[in-house]
């Protein structure tokens, strides 16, 4: 088993943060490109800000001609490869269907890479926090060495970053506010 050091863990966390930022940019480009290319589509790709590892999802359009009996503003999610998605794909012209399937492959790949990077980041942060706690417990409450104390600070800092990326004004607004 290879030896995992705090320094190596911190380096890996920085690499993961860069990777996540790159994936976010790729996802934003995908969403923007899809909306530009298909502005009046019956569905669109949306970025979710919740804690799920599925960052980008398909949503039904709320335009009157597409939403059917659903109330305005209700844009349910669906899988393009699921029952609703297959029905929708059958209604699209062949070139559009092929383009949508390319977007779906891109979306699925982005979600996988994003989920893997976030999961690895969470595991490393947990490991660093446990090592810092062990150092404190073993030294009577004071950090055994500066490296582990720095590791604890790194975990606290990256957790703050993660919490800020979860901020969604719609979810935090008081009822009735916009």
Tens digit of each residue's pLDDT (9 = 90 or more) over 141-166: 544 445 555 555 555 555 555 554 55
CA distances from 104 to 107, 109, 130, 132 (A): 5, 8, 39, 42
Has residue 177 been placed in a domain?
no
Is 155 within the bounds of a domain? yes
Pairing between β-strand 77-78 and β-strand 56-60 as defined by DSSP bridges: antiparallel
Q: Is residue 79 part of a domain?
A: yes
Q: What percent of the chain has pLDDT over 70?
A: 70
- Is 146 part of a structural domain of the chain? yes
What pLDDT, on the 0 to 100 scale, is given for residue 63? 56
Q: What does the DSSP assignment read for 14-79? A: HHHHHHHHHHHHHHHHHHHHHHHH-TT-SEEEEE--SS-S--EEEEE--SHHHHTTSPTT---EE-
State the pTM of this model. Answer: 0.73
Distance CA 66, CA 62 (A): 7
1-24: average pLDDT: 91
pLDDT of residue 137: 87
- Closest of 10, 12, 16, 24 to residue 118, by C-alpha: 16
Domain tally, the chain: 1
Tell me whether residue 178 is in a domain.
no
Domain with 35, as residue range(s), is 6-172
Q: Would residue 37 count as lying in a domain?
A: yes
Check residue 127 and give its pLDDT: 94
Phi and psi angles of residue 44, each rounded to the nearest 5 degrees, phi first:
-150, 165
Half-sphere CA count of 104, side-chain side, radius 13 A = 17
Q: Specify the pLDDT at position 52.
A: 78
Picking from 2-6, 42-46, 75-79, 171-175, which range would have the lowest pLDDT averaged per residue? 171-175
Q: Is 163 among the domain residues?
A: yes
């Amino acid at each position: 088993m290879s030896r995992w050091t705090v320094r190596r863990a911190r380096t890996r966390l920085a690499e993961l943060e860069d990777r996540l930022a790159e994936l976010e940019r790729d996802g934003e480009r995908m969403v923007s490109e899809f909306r530009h290319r298909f502005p009046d589509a019956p569905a669109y790709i949306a970025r979710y800000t919740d804690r799920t590892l599925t960052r980008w999802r398909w949503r039904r359009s709320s335009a009157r001609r597409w939403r059917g009996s659903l109330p305005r503003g209700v844009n349910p999610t669906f899988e393009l490869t699921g029952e609703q998605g297959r029905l929708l794909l059958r209604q699209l012209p062949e070139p559009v269907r092929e383009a949508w399937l390319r977007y779906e492959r891109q979306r699925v790949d982005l979600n996988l890479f994003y989920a893997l990077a976030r999961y690895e980041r969470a595991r490393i942060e947990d490991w660093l926090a446990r090592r810092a706690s062990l150092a404190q417990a073993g030294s009577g409450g004071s950090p055994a060495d500066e490296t582990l104390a720095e590791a604890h600070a790194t975990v606290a800092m990256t957790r703050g970053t993660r919490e800020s990326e979860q901020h969604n004004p719609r979810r935090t607004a008081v009822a009735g506010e916009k």
